[in-house]
Amino acid sequence: MSVRDWIDTKRTGGALKGDEIRAFVAGVTNGSIADAQAAALLMAVCIRGMTDEETAALTDAMLASGKRLDWSAFGFRTVDKHSTGGVGDKVSLVLAPAVAACGGRVPMISGRSLGHTGGTLDKLESIPGFRTDLSLARLQALTAEIGCAFGAATADIAPADRLLYALRDATGTVASIPLITASILSKKAAEGLSGLVLDVKVRSGAFLPARDDAHTLARSLVATSERLGMRAVALITDMSKPLGLTIGNALEVAESVAVLKGGGPRDVVAIVRALGGEMLKLAGCAPSAGHGAEAIGASLRDGSALDVFRRVVEAQGGDAGVVDGEAELPAARHREEIRAAHAGVVTHLDARALGIAATKLGAGREAATDRVAPGAGLVLKKSVGDYAERGDVLVEAHFDEPARFEGVRKLVAGAVVLGSEAPSLAEIVHERIGR
């Protein structure tokens, strides 16, 4: 059997065997399978799909192309969270320290901003001195010592995923639930987790805005995790509007610190409690997700989560003064205000449009090689349900280069909808998938 047979199997809608999938991933990794052949197979998978068994085998083979953290000598269970990406999603910065403060261990490997969505690494790196380029050994040591750490994917984590993703990106084969599942989980499984909580976003600002797609992805992620021996729960959460009131790296760090100090926007607190509760339950640190959520809330009020965050910042080379207001986060050189053209209640804040606007200002990347501007972004002065008089500031835009503001005023003005009736606020957690 060779790659042409595997291609035929998928082209005609059949299922590949585990050893065929392993041989395919090995061939892509060692270069013995041509890009064109891999692309043909990936397209067939994209259109025909994969069974849960195939998806698990693919994930496992991608995981096996690299290293995996081994926690067997440590005597504790590790948990993590993965989000499908959103706008203003600073959850990880609060969640990992809060879970750690409650006894969980979180060796968090995160990503960077892409398209209209932000990235945890970019946010953390806006703290002066903060380094995310940890070796796996260092990530492991910090997690054991402090309870959590924030690393970037290293070259030895699922190298097959990097090769396959680059190929998918070039060949229009990104949009496939099994391929997305394998890409996410091969990297998370490399953390050697006992449990994984998945935050699958829906609506405007999400990677897959449609509810059905989000549901299918959540189900695939949970089923595949469980097949790989990682207990998993997915929460489908609302991304119709941005999370919190800031979009942009340093702006979101400041808002995260406010949440870690027991304040901050209610939606951020609510999602941290919900995700953290599930993580504590999977870690064996809480009898139920509800009890876990209570513990998370307490860790935000009593300063224990903030303490962990401060220690992580110090350990990863960052200036911990930013936590206590003794050091400044980077600020953008220019600000512009976008004001209400008429009076009304904010009925909608379009997450996707605001994410695109923040990216234009320099908070994100239009190309993977772009550098982010740490101080750039948007501050929402009115949230959904707030009343604005004509001329009130709705949004503040922060940016370094005036050219970046071009087109943003119009984009932002169109993203903030003012109406006459206060909207009913959507629950942030739409649905829970898992045992």
Stretch that binds a copy of itself, among 166-174, 179-187, 199-207, 350-358 (CB under 8 A): 166-174
> CA 146 → CA 104, 122, 203, 405, distances in Å?
10, 21, 36, 41
151, β-bridge pairs: 109
Q: Which residue number, 38 or 251, has a Cβ lying nearer to a copy of itself?
A: 38
| Neighbour count for residue 427 (Cβ, 10 Å) | 11
425 binds a copy of itself (CB under 8 A): no
What residues are labeled active site? Answer: 82, 161, 168, 183, 187
42 binds a copy of itself (CB under 8 A): yes
**Alpha-carbon gap, residue 248 to 404, rounded angstroms:** 14
Q: Which residue number, 174 or 411, has a Cβ lying nearer to a copy of itself?
A: 174
Stretch that binds a copy of itself, among 42-50, 203-211, 298-306, 351-359 (CB under 8 A): 42-50
306, β-bridge pairs: none
Q: Are 232 and 222 in contact (CB under 8 A)?
A: yes
317 binds a copy of itself (CB under 8 A): no
418, β-bridge pairs: 346
- Single-letter amino acid code for the residue at 419: G
DSSP string for 158-173: -HHHHHHHHHHHHHT-
Shortest Å distance, C-beta 176 to a copy of itself: 9
Among 1, 8, 422, 432, binds a copy of itself (CB under 8 A): 8
Among 4, 266, 333, 410, binds a copy of itself (CB under 8 A): 4
Q: Which residue number, 41 or 134, has a Cβ lying nearer to a copy of itself?
A: 41
Shortest Å distance, C-beta 61 to a copy of itself: 20
Among 48, 68, 334, 430, binds a copy of itself (CB under 8 A): 48
- Joined together, the tokens standing for residue 416 give 């903030």
Shortest Å distance, C-beta 116 to a copy of itself: 18
DSSP string for 351-398: HHHHHHHHHHHTSS-SSTTPPP-TT-EEEESS-TT-EE-TT-EEEEEE
Shortest Å distance, C-beta 46 to a copy of itself: 6
**Alpha-carbon gap, residue 433 to 221, rounded angstroms:** 10
Shortest Å distance, C-beta 13 to a copy of itself: 9
- Joined together, the tokens standing for residue 312 give 């992580």
Stretch that binds a copy of itself, among 44-52, 137-145, 195-203, 358-366 (CB under 8 A): 44-52
Residues in contact with a copy of itself by the rule CB under 8 A: 3-4, 7-8, 11, 34-44, 46-48, 167, 170-173, 175
